A and B are shown apart, each in its own frame.
Chain A
Amino acid sequence: MTTRIGVVTFPGTLDDRDSLRAVRIAGAEPVSLWHRDKDIKQVDAVVLAGGFSYGDYLRAGAISRFSPVMETVIEQAKGGMPVLGICNGFQILTETHLLPGAMLRNNHLHFICRDQKLRVENAGTAWTADYDAGQEISVPLKNIDGRYVAAESVLDELEAEGRVAFRYLDGNPNGSLRDIAGITNAAGNVVGLMPHPEHAVEPLIGTGRTDGLGFFTSILKKLVSA
């Protein structure tokens, strides 16, 4: 049976097409999901793609969190369904409290768009199993609300439990506390990060590398072996 991975489109989502494409290149069946549908078409995993859902009005991800599709995604994520939030998707995951902390305006107040070096700190999640712990990858980063913040006690807990999944290398691009680029929930099925692996899956475009493909091959292997 083919593995089906859904990608949600909210009004203002930008990277749904690239995410669907990354899913296909990895060898899974991409399935488009719509923000107003509670039905997530029996997909095996969900990607919340980047962009500016609902114009980022109020706060990034704050309005998307209450959309019909998220009701189902939240419920199933709590039941173990793998969910990857990229950029705006990460912001949505913190707003839903599936992941702790919050995202704020970059400390320098500028939009940034560049290739970003990361270290994969946790290669045990549903979305990172094809990497090695400590592996360095480079994928595009593009955002203005990329500053990860959480209470000191929460940060300590994340570090102690190995839930900092990715850390920025060669300079912190946005003031994120402890250079955190992405985190995972305790179960390892819900992962969020600001940089964009879906833009780095073919040698011809993006960074010229395919460092982001591992997210999508990781989840495929996990689902196939499950």
Chain B
Amino acid sequence: MARVVVDVMLKPEILDPQGQAVQRALPRLGFDGIADVRQGKRFELEVQGPVDEAALARIHEMAETFLANTVIEDFVVKVES
């Protein structure tokens, strides 16, 4: 089965307090040099059948209507080989 990955990230202009909390914890744990952290979601879809243009169009529609809220989030669809 082919895997398609949908990455969902908050839009750059949207404040991400969870990412900020992670970033602030890093120096305390000895991980220096990280200027910024943004936290997002990753969906791994195991696709039945061929990952053709039609299948990708459906996944795109799925991401746009459900997996991401495009008022606040951007998404990227990637096919994993």
Interface residue ranges, A against B (CB under 8 Å) = 58-59, 62, 66, 94-95, 97, 100-102, 104-109, 147, 149-151, 175
Question: Could you tell me if A149 and B17 are in contact, using CB atoms closer than 8 angstroms?
Answer: no
Residues 43-78 of B, flagged 1 when their CB comes within 8 A of A and 0 if not, give 000000000000000000000001101011000000
Question: Could you tell me if B21 and A109 are in contact, using CB atoms closer than 8 angstroms?
Answer: yes
Question: Could you tell me if A107 and B17 are in contact, using CB atoms closer than 8 angstroms?
Answer: yes
Question: Could you tell me if A149 and B69 are in contact, using CB atoms closer than 8 angstroms?
Answer: no
| Interface of A (DSSP majority class) | loop
Nearest-CB distance from A18 to chain B (Å)? 28
Within 8 A of A (CB), among B12-54: 14-15, 17-18, 21
Question: Could you tell me if B14 and A62 are in contact, using CB atoms closer than 8 angstroms?
Answer: no
Query: Contacts A62-B66, A66-B66; is A101 near B71 (CB within 8 Å)?
Result: yes
**For residue A109, which residue of chain B has the nearest CB?**
B17
Question: Could you tell me if B69 and A59 are in contact, using CB atoms closer than 8 angstroms?
Answer: yes
Distance of A94 Cα from B72 Cα, bound (Å): 11
For residue A102, which residues in chain B have a CB less than 8 angstroms away from its CB?
69, 71-72
**For residue B71, which residue of chain A has the nearest CB?**
A102
Question: Could you tell me if B14 and A108 are in contact, using CB atoms closer than 8 angstroms?
Answer: no
Question: Could you tell me if B15 and A62 are in contact, using CB atoms closer than 8 angstroms?
Answer: no
For residue A97, which residues in chain B have a CB less than 8 angstroms away from its CB?
71
**For residue B65, which residue of chain A has the nearest CB?**
A66
